[in-house]
Amino acid sequence: MSKVTVKDLDVKGKHVIVRVDFNVPHKNGVITDDNRVRAALPTINYLTENGAKVLLLSHLGKVKTDEDKAKNDMSIVADCLAKLQSAPVTFVNATRGEELEAAVKAQEDGSIVLMQNTRYEKGESKNDPELGAYWASLGDLFVEDAFGSVHRAHASTVGIATHLPSALGFLVEKEVNVLGKALNDPERPLVAILGGAKVSDKIAVIENLLKIADKVLIGGGMSYTFSKAMGGEIGTSLLEADRIELAKEFLAKGEGKLFLPVDTVVANDFSNPTEIKTVKAGEIPEGFMGLDIGPATVELFKKELEGAKTVFWNGPMGVFEDERFAKGTIEVCETLANLDGATTIIGGGDSASAAKNLGFAEKFSHISTGGGASLEFMEGKDLPGISIIPDKE
């Protein structure tokens, strides 16, 4: 897939609308992690340095009530952005109307306008044609640089691009190149590690990876549904009873390449356990729940990762937020971080948080900025925010 990129556009003196992902974590009006803002800087800086007039659009949080609006005001990001780069930043507390139009019209080359949260507009998530057309009317060109939102057909991701010459920004271009190679032309062996709570969240990605990966290792809460499908006892562990037959199908399809935990760390209560122990997989006593993979599973997964040339990881191995049940996730993270000669990719989400919190982020080849988008990409799905961008001629 070779898409038009920002470098293919003549941007000098042009109004360039850029869809960025400034959906940053924040508390009491303070950003707690500015990585998403930093990730957008290469594209923003390229545009301002080449004389573009940049209009930035992003959502922030979920906006369903007036309280949500107040909590997810984009002005906190304007302050952060102004500190991280040298171009002048104007924040406009509007998503349409005279104030926004005047601010855009008054822009000089190399300046930035950041608009208020796109989700203040009800038509955003419905890809309202009128809204997409209105936003497009504010610019000459459109650049898609919000990988975390490209799997959604919204007015700001697809609507604008239907009206303007469009291209990928550097962040999305990198995501497409790295994930595309892992999916379509990986250096082998390709090993996928999938964790997280539910089989239902990852049905399509398991199905696709069983076709293309050399090995698929499964941990986390969803492994207990597989254990039950194999006739195991899982106590009070997380179970999707309606997915047992599907798990059996995956077990049959993945024979020889699907690897499940052989032991599990269990506790007699989720919040305040009085007993924590390690038992064999499928032998969890009544009244106990599985909350992490055990040491024998860690060793099994390490063995199966030996010699891997491409690894895709999405989802923790247990309830890693609780240090008592974090060891499996930590061990997998550390193993991947020190895997010589391999391209190691984290598909965003909790796995990315784990790598960053544990100090291993720099040791991975690529950490995706979009958990949902990276999973849909690995499912082989078309992502509307990317599909709308024209191919290079």
Positions annotated as catalytic residues are: 36, 198, 349, 372
Question: Cα–Cα distance between 324 and 354 in angstroms, integer?
Answer: 15
Distance, CA of 74 to CA of 22 (rounded, Å): 8
In which residue are the tokens 């019209």 written?
105
Phi, psi of 264, deg, nearest 5: -150, 145
Q: Are 195 and 312 in contact (CB under 8 A)?
A: no
CB-based contact 42:79 (threshold 8 Å): no
Are the CB atoms for 39 and 175 separated by under 8 Å? no
Dist CA 290 CA 232 (whole Å): 12
- Whole-number Å distance between alpha carbons of 80 and 178: 28
d(CA 316, CA 330): 9
Which secondary-structure segment (H or E) carries 16?
A: strand 15-19
Proportion of the chain in helix, strand, coil states, percent, rounded to 5? 40, 20, 40
